[in-house]
A and B are shown apart, each in its own frame.
Chain A
Amino acid sequence: MSEESREPIIQLIDVCKSFGDQSVLENVNLDIFEGTTTVIIGPSGTGKSVILKQMMGLLKPTSGRVLVFGQDLSRISKRELQAIRMNFGVLFQNVALFDSMNVFDNVALPLRERTKASEKEIRQNVEEKLALMDLDGVNEKYPAQLSGGMLKRVGLARALVLNPKVIFFDEPTTGLDINKSNEIYRVFYRSQLRFKYTSVIVSHDVPRIFKLTDYVALLADRTIVNSISPEDFQLSKHPAIKSFVETTMGPIYISEEEEADYYEKI
């Protein structure tokens, strides 16, 4: 977690999204600030990934605006969108590595396609990122030969390779056990400390993800309820947040006042 400046680099303004007759998002407003980590939480299948895809320009909102670095994604040309995306790194839910390429080529791909770097520079950069992810000796392996945790770390190495300003994480620890999840959090923390990128995470891993984030945004009833600090989130009196906190975290995370009562009674 790094220091924030109050300049939002991504803004969702009254964003609505529907697929056919089905409305998924309604009047979503969310600001992402530079250098911070924001985690979007909420029940499965409510459209968290849809929010992420709108920020990346993969989906266009039905109405409303998505501003990235001040530019409205639905009003810019393909070329301008590509220029914005040069600042993005993405760790997809199922990593989306190219299964016919080995690990090295996967991580090197953005450099080979988007930069004029020499093969020597590419090798140096890729190996540095893989080492940062605690991945040694896997260069020649294919994605199908790696474990889930390793795949995610390769995915993060690929996301980092162009030194992006923003990295999106779509459920980075889903399907991993506690040790593997901790590995991911460790390399995430280490890399963010070093590269100072802004991150937007969609996660189910509540409350552990709270230790890593600056802001928590809850998606409930097709809209973002609030984007507040994890501490405020856990103490919030907003009915949707309160109900989410109680159902997902249980009595350990009851609010301060209630906690006082609880101890007094004992």
Chain B
Amino acid sequence: MLARFFGKLGHEILYFLETTGRMGVFLFTCLLCLVTPPYRIRAIIRQTYFIGARSSFVIIFTGLFTGMVLGLQGYYTLRKFGAEGLLGSAVAVSLLRELGPVLTALMVIGRAGSAMCAEIGIMRNSEQIDALETMAIDPYRFVMVPKFGATILSLPFLTFIFNMVGIMGGYLVGVSLLGLTSGAYFQGMYQNVVWDDIEMGLVKSFVFALIVVWVAASKGYHLHLERSGGFGAEGVSRTTTSAVVMSSVLVLVWDYLISAMML
């Protein structure tokens, strides 16, 4: 009984170490290929269009409503203390430090991360990755590098758009609906938002970009090694789901860790 328990525990630990090691090597190889020539600028631009440009609508939409709800909730909370004038800075700081990078990352996971994982998983399943290798084309450079480059490039920009639209959303509710003056909204923001807020948001969006593309690409690439069986359409769907869950959780965990480190 006890032996079986420890046997299973050991097995689990070994599996965990194996998976983590594999993903670590994968990340290292991808980053190395990204920064060493030949650079695949054209392919990165093409992927940026898919991951970045085509995500902008959904980012604008979620950013607008996040800003609006922040404006609404913030206004009623601040009014209790007679501090409605701080609405602008409250909206801006919460967006810049937290909500902007986190929600943008979560939206990109849903829109592009899942698609990347499924695409690479299908390439693995249908031997397209093997085909690349036998043609002496490095799958890391051919498939992974454009996705890594594009995500790392896109996410900070998308976060920037999210923040801008969010601040405008807060303005829309605070100033146009609830009667705050435009001057008060921006004056508070001007006084209270500091470079540290922007820096934290920027660091987060870079780290989240790495997490999103790393988990999605690595899960897809190692689909055939999944313990739950990575075969067929069901294998792809299961792996994609697990990639989405894992990257979302990692984004939230790292959000806390970065906040704790930078505060």
Asked if B128 and A113 make an inter-chain contact with CB atoms under 8 angstroms apart, the answer reads: no
Asked if B127 and A85 make an inter-chain contact with CB atoms under 8 angstroms apart, the answer reads: no
In the complex, what residues of B have CB within 8 A of residue A114's CB?
Answer: 135-137
Is A138 interfacial (CB 8 A cutoff)? no
In the complex, what residues of A have CB within 8 A of residue B126's CB?
Answer: 94, 96, 99
Residue of A with least CB distance to B138 = A82
Q: How far is A110 from B136 in the complex, measured between Cα atoms in Å?
A: 8
Asked if B138 and A85 make an inter-chain contact with CB atoms under 8 angstroms apart, the answer reads: no
- Say how far A14's CB is from chain B's closest CB, in angstroms: 24
Asked if A86 and B128 make an inter-chain contact with CB atoms under 8 angstroms apart, the answer reads: no
Select one of A86, A99, A168 contacting B136, CB under 8 A. A86
- Say how far A173's CB is from chain B's closest CB, in angstroms: 17
Asked if B130 and A110 make an inter-chain contact with CB atoms under 8 angstroms apart, the answer reads: no
In the complex, what residues of A have CB within 8 A of residue B134's CB?
Answer: 56, 58, 85, 88, 90, 168
Residue of A with least CB distance to B29 = A78
Is A254 interfacial (CB 8 A cutoff)? no
Q: How far is A106 from B154 in the complex, measured between Cα atoms in Å?
A: 28
In the complex, what residues of A have CB within 8 A of residue B123's CB?
Answer: 98
Is B39 interfacial (CB 8 A cutoff)? no
Q: Find residues 57-105 in chain A having any chain B CB closer than 8 Å to their own CB.
A: 57-58, 82-83, 85-86, 88, 90, 92-94, 96-99
Is A109 interfacial (CB 8 A cutoff)? yes
Select one of B127, B136, B137, B138 contacting A93, CB under 8 A. B127
Q: How far is A92 from B128 in the complex, measured between Cα atoms in Å?
A: 9
- Say how far A193's CB is from chain B's closest CB, in angstroms: 23
Q: How far is A56 from B135 in the complex, measured between Cα atoms in Å?
A: 10
In the complex, what residues of A have CB within 8 A of residue B128's CB?
Answer: 96-99
Residue of B with least CB distance to A100 = B119
- Say how far B217's CB is from chain A's closest CB, in angstroms: 16
Asked if A113 and B142 make an inter-chain contact with CB atoms under 8 angstroms apart, the answer reads: yes
Per-position contact with B for A38-68: 1 when CB-CB < 8 Å, else 0? 0000000000000001001110000000000
- Say how far A74's CB is from chain B's closest CB, in angstroms: 15
Residue of A with least CB distance to B131 = A96
Q: How far is A86 from B136 in the complex, measured between Cα atoms in Å?
A: 6
- Known pairs A94-B126, A96-B126, A113-B142; A85 contacts B131 (CB<8 A): no
In the complex, what residues of B have CB within 8 A of residue A53's CB?
Answer: 130
Q: How far is A85 from B130 in the complex, measured between Cα atoms in Å?
A: 12
- Say how far B133's CB is from chain A's closest CB, in angstroms: 6
Select one of B127, B137, B138 contacting A110, CB under 8 A. B137
CB<8 Å pairs between A and B, sample of 27: A56-B130, A56-B133, A56-B134, A58-B134, A82-B138, A83-B136, A85-B134, A85-B136, A86-B136, A88-B135, A88-B136, A90-B131, A90-B135, A92-B127, A92-B130, A92-B131, A96-B127, A96-B130, A96-B131, A98-B128, A109-B137, A110-B135, A110-B136, A113-B135, A113-B142, A162-B135, A168-B134
A82-B136, A114-B137 known; 9 new pairs, CB 8 Å cut-off, are A53-B130, A56-B133, A56-B134, A58-B134, A82-B138, A85-B134, A86-B136, A90-B134, A110-B135
